[in-house]
Amino acid sequence: MNSKYRLNYFNAKGSGEVIRWIFAYAGVEYEDNRLDPVTEWPAVKHRAPYGKLPFLEVDGKVLGESYAIQRFLAKRFGLAGSSAWEEAEVDALADYIAEVKRKQPNWVAAAVFVQEDELGKGPANHASREDSLREDYLRESVSVLKRLENMLQNNSKKFYFVGEKPSWADFVVTRFLDGLLQFDQAVLNRYPLLSAHRQHIRNLHGINHWLQKRPDTVY
C-alpha cells in the first residue's frame, strides 16, 4: 500500500524546498500544502510537533524538523547513500551546510530592513545595511566554496559529493548555492566543479520538471 504524504509549509522555497526536490526526483506524489502565514498557519500550528514549519504528515503520523524529514524521505527513496559509510558522509555534508547557514545571514534579513524603513530610518539606511550584509555573506562563503570544490575534486566521478549517484546532500548543497547566487551571480565563477554540479543536479529528471512548474516565490 502506497503511503500518502502531505507537506505543510509556507508559499516559499525556504526550508521546504529540498523536501519538494526529494519528492520530485523520486517521482512520488504528495500534497504540497502551502499555508498563508496570517490566515491559515495559526489554525494548524498546534499540529506542528515543534510549533513551526515545515512538518510532514505520513499515513496519519506527523514528523517535524526539515532535516529529519529530508533524512526520512531520502532513506525511503534511495537518496541517503549506498552503504552505512556513505550514509554517514551524506549526513555529515548536510549537517555542515546547515551549520554554515546558521552562522550566516539570509534573505529573512530583508524583513528587518523593511521594518527599519517603516520605523522611519529611510531607504538610504536600508541600502547601506543590505550592501554590508551582502559583502559579509559572500566573504564568509569563500572558504565554504573552496572546501566544497575540493570535495568534488577528490571524488573521481565529480558529479556527486558522495558515491556514484545523487543524495539528498547534493540537493542541500545546490539549494545553498542557489541562495548565494541571489546575492551575486558571479559567485561560482572561480569554482567550475561546483557550478557544473549545481547545473547537473538541477537538470536531473524530476527536479528539472519541478523547477519549471513550481510557484514563483521570492524566498
Among 197, 210, 183, 173, residue whose Cα is nearest residue 90? 173
38-56: average pLDDT:
96
Q: What is the pLDDT of residues 198-210, one digit of tens each?
A: 999 999 999 999 9
The CATH architecture annotation of domain 5-78 reads: 3-Layer(aba) Sandwich (3.40)
Higher pLDDT: 105 or 144? It is 144
Residue 99 and residue 93 in contact, taking contact as beta carbons nearer than 8 Å: no
Residue 114 banded pLDDT, cuts 50, 70, 90: very low
Indicate the angle between helix axes 122-154 and 168-183, nearest 10 degrees. Answer: 140
* pLDDT at site 14: 93
Rounded CA-CA distance 200/144 in Å is 20
Q: Does CATH number 3.40.50.12780 belong to domain 84-204?
A: no
Coarse DSSP helix, strand, coil percentages of the chain, rounded to the nearest 5 percent: 60, 10, 35
Residue carrying C-alpha cell 529540498 = 18
pLDDT at 125 over 70: no
78-112 burial, b at 16+ Cβ within 10 Å, e below that, comes to: ebbbeeeebbebbbebbebbeebbeebbeeeeeee
106: Cβ contacts below 8 Å, ≥ 6 apart:
179
* pLDDT at site 102: 85
Residue 93 and residue 172 in contact, taking contact as beta carbons nearer than 8 Å: yes
Residue 216 and residue 174 in contact, taking contact as beta carbons nearer than 8 Å: no
Mean pLDDT score of the chain:
88
Residue 189: phi and psi, rounded to 5, are -60, -30
* pLDDT at site 131: 67
191: alpha, beta or left? (left if phi > 0; alpha if psi -120 to 50): beta
* pLDDT at site 159: 86
pLDDT at 82 over 90: yes
pLDDT at 111 over 70: no
Residue ranges of the domains in the chain? 5-78, 84-204
* pLDDT at site 113: 43
- Residue 59 DSSP label: T
Cell numbers placing 29: 506524489
Residue 168 and residue 79 in contact, taking contact as beta carbons nearer than 8 Å: yes
pLDDT at 89 over 70: yes
137-149: average pLDDT:
85
Higher pLDDT: 102 or 213? It is 213
pLDDT at 147 over 60: yes
179-192: average pLDDT:
90
